[in-house]
Structure 1
């Protein structure tokens, strides 16, 4: 069946109308003529699995990665970057119901500060798009940068010399599972974290990565296919550092940190520019990304986070930067006395705000809310739930994730008079 891609859906797939069917085709652009031979159903959507672009739209560009089209990591490299930004602005505007401008990323290659690479019998790389059992073998990752190639070459030398068993994804067996590479883009510090199942790691392992600031060995003792585990040992520095403006953050293998350091600078600056009043509650505070940055600027900051390890890291980051900020372990639904704060910052997981937290916000009526969201659909639902008491004062998108359909949004809400 042959058709023309009419538009992109909200997930970045090209939409082709074929008779009564709408088929969603990855890696295509509006105006492409495609031949679709096979598709699969995902919920109510038909997604092409076997197709060719037989006539290219002029609205395409050459991807910057040799693995594009097979690797599941990027979906939009074939679109000029200005088109990617326009797509994300249109997506946010459609979902949220009002116009939202998207700020482009300062860099669109070499911007990621973390990649999780599977070490499997199928390949050392990333999952093949549309599969959980297969991997695309890569030499390096252009969205991370050249140092990924150096780490993967060292890993392959280690494997060649010591012949450890590799992960058999379908059977969930094998010693080596993942290698996680993290880099401070503004400090140049590099972390290598090897994730294995239980077993013995040859003592020579860290010698293959003697150029890294920090080398870790983590053990996944669960049956889950995950790229983290219990720390067995580390060599070199316990942490690497990243710097956003004048604030330094410690990065640990099990810490979450915004994956695009260059755009993270714009993110913390944007949030800081929207804060009212001197006292701030930083909910879902993580390692203190927003809280420490605001404390550095003279705000009285209290952070709440459910993960005890993240709270420990946030307090370390406050101490490292010489600022007064308090980070405590707690749940979003249990916070009290929200009216005492000039601004509440919320940066929830993809599921959005807890319903009990929404009720407390509506009851306590804090003057300002700065909502940071990675999921515009739950953001829209939460904005609707708050709309009786709060009005949207401003909203902006930030492209933290070039070449993907994902976008970060920052919305400021003000209490209605």
Structure 2
């Protein structure tokens, strides 16, 4: 069946009309002519999995990654970056219901400071789009940068030289599971974290990664397909560092940090400009990305985070930067009062704010609320709920994830007089 791609859908796939159906075709662009042979259902949409582009639209970009079209990591490398920004702007505006600009990423390749590379019997790389078991073998990842080539090559040499067993994802058997790379883009420091099942890592393994500032061996003792585990041993530094402006952050294998350092610098600057008053509550504070940055600028900061390890890291970041801020373990729904703060900064997970927290915000009505969101849909739902007591004063989108459909948003809300 020959179709013409009309537009990009929410997931970044091209959308074509087939009778009364709409078929989503990965890695296609508006104007492409495509022969679609087979499709399947993914949640609520129909997605083609057997198709061929017979006539490409004019104005496509040339993907820099040789694995594009097979690897499931990036779906928009064939779309010019200016068009990607227009797409994200339109998507964000549809969700929020008002006009908002999107700040482009300073870099569109080499911007990611972390990648999780699966080690499987089918390859060392990323999942083929649409599968959970088939891993595409790669030599490097252009969105991470050149140091990925060195680390992947070292991993392959170690496997051959030490006769290490790769993981069989389908049968949940084997030893080597993930190679996680992290790089301080502004410091140049490099971390390699090798995640395995239970077993023994041979002596001499570390010699293959002498170029890394920090090398970790982590063990995932569960059947879950996750790229982290208990840190068993490390060589070199226990942490690497990253800098956002004048603030330094410690990076550990099991700590979360914004994955685009260049845009993260713009993000923390933006949040700091939106904060008002002297006292700030940093909810979902993580390792103190916002809280420590704000404390450096003289705000009185208290952070609350559910993950004890993240709180420990935030406290170390406070000490490292010589600022005054307190961080404690707690849940969003258990915050007793918000009346003591001039501004509340929230950066919740994709599910958005807990209903109890929304009720607390509406009851205590701190003057300013700065909402950082990675999910425009839940952001829109929360803004509607908060509209009872707050109005949007400023909003901005940031492209943290070039070549994907995802977009970050920052909204400043003021208490209605």
Scaled by the length of structure 1, the TM-score of the pair is: 0.99
Residue in structure 2 matched with residue 172 of structure 1 by the alignment: 172
Aligned to 2:380: 380
The match for 1:99 is 99
Aligned to 1:211: 211
Displacement of 1:211 after TM fit?
A: 1.0
3-state SS, counterpart of residue 198 of structure 1: coil
Determine if contact 1:31/1:59 at 8 Å carries over to the other structure: no
Alpha-carbon distance in 1 for matches of 2:415, 2:311: 29
> What are the within-5 Å matches in structure 2 for residues 328-339 of structure 1?
328-339=328-339
Q: Which residue number corresponds to residue 240 of structure 1?
A: 240
Partner Cα distance (2:39, 2:407) in 1: 27
Query: Using the alignment, how far apart are the partners of 1:51 and 1:227 within structure 2?
Result: 32
CA RMSD after TM alignment: 0.6
CA distance in 2, matches of 1:41, 1:176: 32
SS in 2 for 1:339: coil
SS in 2 for 1:338: coil
CA distance in 2, matches of 1:170, 1:278: 54
Contact 1:115 1:144 survives alignment (8 Å): yes
SS in 1 for 2:4: strand
Contact conserved, 1:302 with 1:325, CA < 8 A, in 2?
A: yes
Does the 8 Å CA contact 1:350/1:378 hold for their aligned counterparts?
A: yes
CA contact (8 A) 1:268 1:293 kept: yes
Measured after TM superposition, the shift of residue 182 of structure 1 is 0.3
Whether 1:132 aligns to 2:132 is: yes
SS of structure 2 residue aligned to 1:69: coil
Unaligned runs of 5+ in 2: none
Distance in structure 1 (CA, Å) of the matches to 2:125 and 2:112 = 15
SS at match of 1:124: strand
Residue ranges of structure 1 left out of the alignment (5+ in a row):
none
Q: Distance in 2 between matches of 1:123 and 1:348?
A: 35
SS at match of 2:117: strand
Q: Once superposed, which parts of structure 1, at least 4 consecutive aligned residues long, lie more than 6 Å away? A: none
- The 5-angstrom pairing of residues 14-413 of structure 1 reads 14-413=14-413
Structure 1 residue 169, shift from structure 2 partner: 1.0
Contact 1:30–1:59 at 8 Å: present in 2 too? no
What displacement does 1:59 show? 3.1
Structure 1 stretch 371-380 or stretch 9-18: which is displaced more? 9-18
- Offset at 1:43? 2.6
* Aligned mates of 1:311, 1:158 — CA distance in 2: 35
CA–CA separation in structure 2 for the residues paired with 1:382 and 1:404: 24
Instruction: Note the C-alpha offset of 1:164.
Output: 1.2
Counterpart Cα distance in 2 of 1:295 and 1:159:
46
Residue 100 of structure 1: CA displacement? 1.1
1:336 Cα deviation after fit: 2.1
How many Å apart are 1:410 and its aligned residue?
A: 0.2
Q: Hey, what's the Cα distance between the residues in 2 that align with 1:415 and 1:5?
A: 45
> Deviation digits for residues 187-218 of structure 1, max 9, x if unmatched?
00000000000001011111111111000000
C-alpha deviation, 1:263, in angstroms: 0.4
**What's the offset of the Cα at 1:318?**
0.6
Equivalents in 1 of 2:50, 2:381: separation in Å?
36
Scaled by the length of structure 2, the TM-score of the pair is 0.99
- Number of residue pairs aligned between Structure 1 and Structure 2: 417
Cα deviation per residue 1:236-277 (whole Å; 9 max; x = unaligned)? 000000000000000000000000000000000000010010
**1:24 offset after TM fit, Å?**
0.5
Q: Secondary structure at the match of 2:17?
A: strand
Residue 165 of structure 1 deviates from its aligned partner by 1.1
Contact 1:339 1:367 in 2 (8 A): no
| Partner secondary structure for residue 5 of structure 2 | strand
Cα offset, 1:16, TM superposition: 0.2
Q: After superposition, what is the alpha-carbon deviation per residue over 1:361-387, rounded to whole angstroms, capped at 9, x for unaligned? A: 000011110000000000001001111
Q: Which residue of 2 aligns with 1:414?
A: 414
How far has the Cα of 1:328 moved from its partner?
Answer: 0.5
Per the alignment, in what secondary structure is the counterpart of residue 17 of structure 1?
Answer: strand
Following superposition, the deviation at residue 306 of structure 1 comes to 0.3
Contact 1:41 1:47 in 2 (8 A): yes
Q: Secondary structure at the match of 2:276?
A: coil
